[in-house]
């Protein structure tokens, strides 16, 4: 699957709120660039939801002082999260939140990235071991 870096860059630059769905894990990256009362945007790995309405409820709960967004843009990331950093996509995201919230938001972006790496690894281990939500194809004889 080819990745349209320019389209992703436009979403990151223009969307007020966007969600990145990952192929390698259930959790999503949620970025809300609208500043809160302290002037900070929101960036975090979040659980998946079953509908847009549920995502709006999630945002209302997480950011009660920020009104609901007009829309939430969602895009799929087909590779491991580390590839985002390797090819510069993560820099777009990090720069966007830092432009709004300064260095504290850059640190928040770094924390979200590290969280994404941990979650992705945990999902991979669960898939290999047949953990919750996964089924093993074969099992070693005891």
Average pLDDT over residues 42-66: 96
For residues 84 and 63, what is the distance between their CA atoms, to the nearest angstrom?
26
- Tokens standing for 27? 């959790």
Residue 140 lies in a domain: no
Residue 142 lies in a domain: no
Contact 106, 9 (CB under 8 A): no
pTM of the model: 0.90
Query: What is the DSSP track for 81-125?
Result: HHHHHHTTHHHHHHHHHHHHHHHHHHHHHHHHHHHHHHHHHHHHH
Residue 141 lies in a domain: no
Give residue 91's domain range: 5-129
Residue 136 lies in a domain: no
pLDDT tier, 139 (very low <50, low <70, confident <90, very high otherwise)? low
Residue 110 lies in a domain: yes
Q: Please count the structural domains in the chain.
A: 1
For residues 72 and 34, what is the distance between their CA atoms, to the nearest angstrom?
12
pLDDT of residue 39: 95
């Amino acid at each position: 699957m080819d990745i349209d870096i320019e389209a992703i860059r436009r979403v990151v630059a223009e969307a007020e709120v966007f969600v990145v769905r990952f192929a390698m894990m259930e959790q999503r990256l949620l970025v809300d660039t609208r500043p809160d009362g302290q002037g900070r945007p929101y960036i975090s790995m979040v659980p998946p939801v079953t509908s847009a309405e549920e995502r709006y409820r999630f945002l209302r709960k997480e950011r009660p002082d920020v009104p609901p967004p007009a829309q939430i843009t969602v895009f799929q990331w087909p590779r491991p999260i580390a590839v985002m950093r390797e090819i510069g996509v993560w820099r777009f995201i990090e720069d966007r939140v830092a432009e709004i919230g300064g260095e504290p938001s850059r640190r928040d972006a770094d924390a979200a990235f590290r969280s994404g790496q941990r979650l992705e690894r945990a999902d991979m281990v669960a898939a290999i071991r047949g953990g919750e939500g996964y089924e093993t194809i074969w099992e070693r004889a005891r």
